[in-house]
Every structure is written in structure tokens, then in C-alpha cells.
Structure 1
Amino acid sequence: MRETRDAEPAGEREPAGRGGIELINVTKRYPGQDAPAVDDVTMTIRGGEIVVLLGPSGSGKTTMMRLINRLIEPTSGKIIVAGRDALGLDPTELRRHIGYVIQNAGLFPHMTVATNVGLVPQMLKWDKKRIAERVDELLELVDLDPAQYRDRYPRELSGGQQQRVGVARALGADPPAMLMDEPFGALDPITRGNLQDSLLRLQEELGKTIVFVTHDIDEALKLGDRIAILDKGSRVAQYATPQEILLNPADEYVEQFLGGGQAMRLLQFSRVADVPLQDVPRARTGDDAAEVRRRIEGGEIGFAIVLDERDRPVRWAHPEDVEGVTGPIGERGMDVAPPIRARDTLQQALESLIQIDHEWVPVVGPRGVYRGTVTLGTLQNAIKDMKDRARTRRRPS
């Protein structure tokens, strides 16, 4: 096997986890061609991650995707999808359990939106009531009102709406994994950006394993939990997080592919989840006021954050809010500012912090669960640390 940077070598792979995908020494050769389209690739895609395959035409990224759901068969190697040997399964059955989204949505023009979205559940012989409920649920999930859109035909939709229907169809039977082959490539920049944001919101809620193909470096940096930068012949030049790729390109090819502007891209594409968050004492509405006051006094911040029964932040509690109170703290305290999401970029977080009156803002993950807090100082220190690390790596030895 050829040497790759940051890909998992055979024998040292970390487990893919639930819903993950593994390619093990996968090769695809076409008759009459001297070089393989995919050459001995080994890669682990962890469950619940968005992994972007990024590279120029001819780098094998779409071929790798089609190998995963067996639209084409590998010449050699092994493919594991959600813990099952994909090559040992019936191809049609395999595809029904992998969502697939392509450019221009690929909807059937003679079918309504509801019929398109319900195709896979229908193939799996769900009853009509269950299919109808699932269709409405998915349309709501992709921000399309079922009453308004379920009976329309694809020609009556905009390009962005068609892509949303395509995503809903791919989620039809709640597959553990989704494959997305340049799904937003044909759309205008504004629609494309909106759909990228929608995909990130969906992923935060659903936590699917997503393999996303693109040739757009900014799209890859925005969407990917990890990015595989491919060279000709499917060489994995680097397989790492966006921040790692921006701070430490593996080789000259990756540097050229990035094309400069790494400092600004760190701000645009590094996520709040990438920086150390500050924690504060925690409380709940039913906690005893005297105990909450002890937690505040025992901390260094001077106040506590109050969480609801689903661990979502609702209020700040200061010592004066619980002074002299007996029993539960109840609704005492000051409402928190609208939280920042862990998937937000540092640029989005900075804009939020500048525009609000609160110094401290909670950070939430999937389903609004509290993760920590940030301040302007938190982000300034994180950005300084990134710049220092980048400067250190650029310094000649």
C-alpha cells in the first residue's frame, strides 16, 4: 500500500463505531485502463461524523462513494457499513439502508413530492399510514410545510427545494449512513450556503454518518468533521479535521490545494466545539437555594447556570438571587442570552458576542444540551493560540 498522511494504516485502524464505514485495502480497476481508479485505499469513517472527500476530477472521490453502496463493485478489498460486510449483502438491500443524495436531487418528475420521499419505505413494505406520517415528518425536518409541498411535483419546486426533498428521500427509512455526491454543486451561492446550514442543523439533530463529495475547499471546511484530501489515483494526501489541515498541511500538494488565506479560514471554518469552553457551577430549578449559593461561592466565576430537565440553559443565578431563599431556587435569576451552538464557526460566535449585552453566553450541542460557556476573551485566546501554533509550524527548523 502506498504511504498516506493521516489516513489509518491497515492494522492500526480505530473502530468506526455504530453506523461507521470502513474501507480496507479497496481497489477498483477498469478494463483497458493502466492505472486503477481507486488504489488500495484504507480509511475509517467514524459513526456520526461528516467526512468530506475532497479532490480534483480524477481523484477517485465519486468512485469511492459508489463503491460504498455497490453501485460499482470493487476489484479487491473489504467494505464495512454499520458493522456489516457490504460485499456479503444483497446490493439492493444494502442501498435501501444507505441514503443517497446527488446533484440536482434526482427526483422522479412524474411522482409527487410525497411519493418521492416515501419510495424507500414503500419498497420496505411499510403500511400507508406509517409512510404518510414519515413523509410529513421528513418534510418538516427539511423545512418544507407538508400541507404545502407533499402533493406538488418536482417541476413546481425551486432548485433548493428539490434538494431538500432529495435529502428527505435519502432519510426515508432512517438509514445509519448517507452518501452525498456534490448535492449542492449546481445551486447559486446563497441557496448553497442556506442548504449547507440546513445540513449542519439536521446533522446536529440526527447524528448520521455522512460521506460528502465536493471539489470546493470552502464547502469541505464548513461541513466536514474530517476531510480526506485526495490526489490523482485516490492517494489520501491528508485525512484530518479542518483545523488540523489549515494549521498543518501534510505536504506541498495540500498547501497548493488550500490556496492560501489559512488565517482567515481558521476564523471562518473553525468551530466553537474546537476551542476550550469555560464551565460554571450548574443548578436546576428544583435545587435547594442554600446549596446553589455554596456552589457559587465555591467557584471562581461568581454565578451559576440554571439548566432545565433536558439540560438546556435557561437562566443565570447570582448570589443575590438566592440570598435568604429557603427551598428550591425556582424561577429566580436572569434569562440567558440566545445560546451559541457548538457547530457555529468562530466568526459566527464573535458576531453573536459583539451584538448582545451579555458577557457570558452558553454553548449548546445537539438538542440544545448545555456544553459550556464562551466570552470574547475565550475566543480571543483560542484564536491567538491557533495563530501561535501556525507560526510555530511555519518556522524553519
Structure 2
Amino acid sequence: MDDGADRAIRLINVTKRYPGQRTPAVDDVTLTIPGGEIVVLLGPSGSGKTTMMRLINRLIEPTSGRIIVAGRDALGLDPTELRRHIGYVIQNAGLFPHMTVATNVGLVPQMLKWDKRRVAGRVDELLDLVGMDPATFRDRYPRELSGGQQQRVGVARALAADPPVMLMDEPFGAVDPITREHLQDSLLGLQEELGKTIVFVTHDIDEALKLGDRIAILDQGSRVAQYATPLEILLEPADAYVEQFIGGGQTMRLLQFSRVADVPLQQVPEAAPDDDAAAVLERIQAGRPAFGIVLDEARRPVRWIHPEDLGGVTGPIGTRGMDTATPIRARSTLQQALERLILIEHDWVPVVGPRGAYQGTVTLGTLQQAIKEMKARSRDRRTADGS
């Protein structure tokens, strides 16, 4: 399975019927999970969310329908071969207790006949990636780890062969709330770097809102009650079932779970260190606001630059200007961004996405206006529903 292929997952009219049951566990579901996104399947017990996940990697077989994984018909592939290209993380990590951490993580690469040196290098790389020092943890056994550490090893194992797709079935449900929050934050950090296609099953609405790029809210009988972004679900729940499922406190949830990426970012003139000073000055004077931002070769923000920094300068702008504040991540919540902007001395803060690449800027006023507009939309919808 080519990592460069289409990484989307498509369920097309998928049904699963078990013998002796009157109603299907999954009933004619059609759903597209875009490549590079986290899609959360959210619903109560019996809504078919775990069944749908297991259908994707053929732990169970569909009664009818088609499943396309990373551009290939999953039902036309050897099931074992398919699973080697799909990372799978379950509750309690599912580690083999008689194997060391290194052996657990390196299991799939060994099955793929990687040489020992390559496997060892990949194990150390992944332990580093999930925040576990290889020298400390490589030779430990699962019983010597905390629940949170076991889950980190489970994530490392799922990533071992660099699969384009990951399935995560209630992976953080068995740990305490503080550890769970740390694991969620770690997953978001990893996703920014790796951009996997992730299907994540949970019954926790707050976890879904925090992690999901999109959320599929499932009702009994695997009815997809709503499939949308967290912001769309908070502002415009599709029906009474969705509204009941997400509960009250919409205004606080907008702050806690809406992301900086959900608001219109302000753009300022851009420049690179090698750009000609006169050209940059002209660009700044022609735009609004009357300053620019200097980006490095990877489009990471470096400095603000103002007209007074460029007066009489010839040639490249070089290191002129003033360091920016530490950027805000596009995945940060509005609450996190507001807290940052209140505490720092800078009026403008750059916003960055995956790999720290610049996306735009925010100010306290930007966020306050965005929140007002979100609240107005939510209020208008409730008024319309009540009329």
C-alpha cells in the first residue's frame, strides 16, 4: 500500500448482519473519512461505532457494501496484508505481556522482514516520538509501566511501519482524567507532525470535540445523525438527538473546543530574510496593517518587521525586525488563545499549523469578535427552532 496514495477511507453502503439478530449492527452506512484527518465515531453502546472500525481492517467482514482504504478495495486485499498497513490502538494498549517494550513496538516491522538494525532504529525513533526515553523504557515489560505509558507504547506500535491509516478504539478510556488529557494532547501533537488518517472511537463528547477534525454522531442502528466539524455540531446540531447528545453549556463549549483555525485569521505582508528591503517596504506600505512578518525557509514565523526597520536599507532585510511572540497553534482552543493573549505583551500573535508553518495572525479583538459571531449564530438558531 503506497503511503503517497489517496489516504481517505470510504464506506459505501456498508451493512453488517449477525446471524440470529433481527436488526443489522451496521445498516447501509456511507461515509468518507478524508485523508490526513482525525474523524471521531461518537455514539452510545449499540450504535455500531466499534463494529464500523473493525470492518475497516476486516477483523469482521461486511455482509454487503464496499470499503476503500488508502485508494484500494479492502475486500480485495489479503486481510493480514491489509492490517499490516493499518495501525490499531485499543483500550489498555493490548501489549503482549511477555514481550519487552522494544519487541512490542517492533513487531510489525519484524513481520515485514526489516533487518534488526532498521527495526531497532525505528523503535528508538518512535519511543522518542511518544515521549518515552528509549534507554529507560526499551527493555521494560508492560507490567512495569503505568497505564498512560502502556497507551503511549500502543500508539508507538501502531505507528511502527508508518501506516497511512490508524484506528483507535476507545484508546484512552481506561486511564485517569489527567493522564487521558496528556495522551489526547500527545496525539494532537503527533498528528500535526505525521498527518495520518485516524478513525477514533469514543462515547465521550468532550473527547470527540477536542480531537476530531470531523465527528460522526451515531444513533442506534448506526444511523449517522450528523457528520460535521466540531464547530458546526456545536453551532448547528442537526436534530433533537444530536442536541441532547452534546448537552448544554454551548457558550462554554465554544470556548473550550472551538479552535483558532475556526476563526478568520488576519493576514499581514510576508517577507523572507533574503528579500530586498525596498521591495518589502513597498509591500508593507501598500498593505494593512503597516508592518509585516518575516518567515524562514519552512514558512515558520521569525520576526515582525516595520517601516522604520527598513529606512535607508539596501539589499536583503537579513535579521532586521523584532522577534514575534511564541506562535499560537491553529489547533489551540479559543480559550487557550484568549488566555495567551491576555497574559502576553504583544497585541498580534502569529498562528501556525503543522510543522510550525505560518497561517495568519490573531489579536484579542479578532477572537472576541469571532466568539460574538458564534454566539449570535447559536442564538439565532435557537430562536428559529423555537418559533
1:211 — aligned with what?
Answer: 199
Residue aligning to 1:298: 286
Shift in Å, 1:286? 1.0
1:33 aligns with 2:25: no
SS at match of 2:125: helix
Q: What is the rounded CA distance, in whole Å, between the counterparts of 1:146 and 1:354 in structure 2?
A: 39
Distance in 2 (CA, whole Å) between partners of 1:123 and 1:20 is 25
AA aligned to 2:282 is: R
3-state SS of 1:392 partner: helix
C-alpha displacement of 1:51: 0.5
Match of 1:369 in 2: 357
Matches within 5 A, 1:256-335: 256-335=244-323
**Match of residue 202, structure 1, among 184, 187, 190:** 190
**Runs of 5+ consecutive residues of structure 1 not aligned to the other structure:** 1-16
Inter-partner Cα distance in structure 1 for 2:362 and 2:349: 6
Residue 105 of structure 1 corresponds to 93
- Distance (Å, rounded) in 2 between the aligned partners of 1:295 and 1:61: 52
Q: Secondary structure at the match of 2:377?
A: helix
Match of 2:102 in 1: 114
- Equivalent position amino acid for 1:212 in 2: F
2:232 aligned residue:
244
What is the 5 A alignment of 1:1-397? Answer: 18-396=6-384, 397=387
Q: Separation in 1 of the partners of 2:187 and 2:287? A: 38
For residues 380 and 341 of structure 2, the distance between their equivalents in structure 1, rounded to whole angstroms, comes to 29
Letter in structure 2 aligned against 1:158: S
Whole-angstrom distance in 2 between the partners of 1:159 and 1:144: 13
Cα deviations by residue, 1:209-268 (Å, 9 ceiling, x for unpaired) = 000000000000000000000011101110101110111111111111111111110110
Q: 1:379, 1:273 → 2: CA distance?
A: 11
CA distance in 1, matches of 2:172, 2:218: 20
Distance in 2 (CA, whole Å) between partners of 1:251 and 1:290 is 57
TM-score by length of 1: 0.95
Runs of 5+ consecutive residues of structure 2 not aligned to the other structure? none
| Counterpart Cα distance in 2 of 1:395 and 1:378 | 26
The whole-number CA distance in structure 2 between the counterparts of 1:269 and 1:336 is: 26
Code of the residue aligned with 1:39 in structure 2: it is D
The ranges of structure 1 where at least 4 consecutive aligned residues each deviate by more than 4 angstroms after the TM superposition are none
SS of structure 2 residue aligned to 1:395: helix
Larger displacement relative to structure 2 (293-302 or 164-173): 293-302
- In structure 2, C-alpha distance between the alignment counterparts of 1:42 and 1:328, rounded to whole Å: 54
Q: Which whole-Å CA distance do the structure 2 matches of 1:326 and 1:249 have between them?
A: 56
Q: Could you say what secondary structure the match of 1:99 adopts?
A: strand
Superposed CA offset, 1:272-331 (max 9, x none): 111100010111111111111111111111111001111100000111111111111111
The CA distance in 1 between the partners of 2:296 and 2:21, in whole Å, is 61
In 2, distance between residues paired with 1:130 and 1:334? 44
Question: Shift of residue 395 of structure 1?
Answer: 1.5
| Corresponding residue of 1:9 | none
* Structure 2 residue identity aligned to 1:338: T
Residues 147-171 of structure 1 show CA distances to partners (whole Å, capped at 9, x for unaligned) of 1111111111111111000000000
Local SS of the residue matching 1:213:
strand
Aligned residue-pair number: 381
Structure 2 SS opposite 1:184: coil
Query: Partners in 2 of 1:80 and 1:121 — Cα distance?
Result: 24
Cα distance between partner residues in 1 of 2:62 and 2:329: 40
Give the partner amino acid of 2:208: A
Report Cα offsets for 1:106-134 as digits up to 9, x if no partner: 00111111110000000010111111111
In structure 2, distance between residues paired with 1:203 and 1:347: 21
User: How many Å separate the matches in 1 of 2:339 and 2:269?
Assistant: 26
What is the alpha-carbon distance in structure 2 between the residues aligned to residue 309 and residue 354 of structure 1?
30
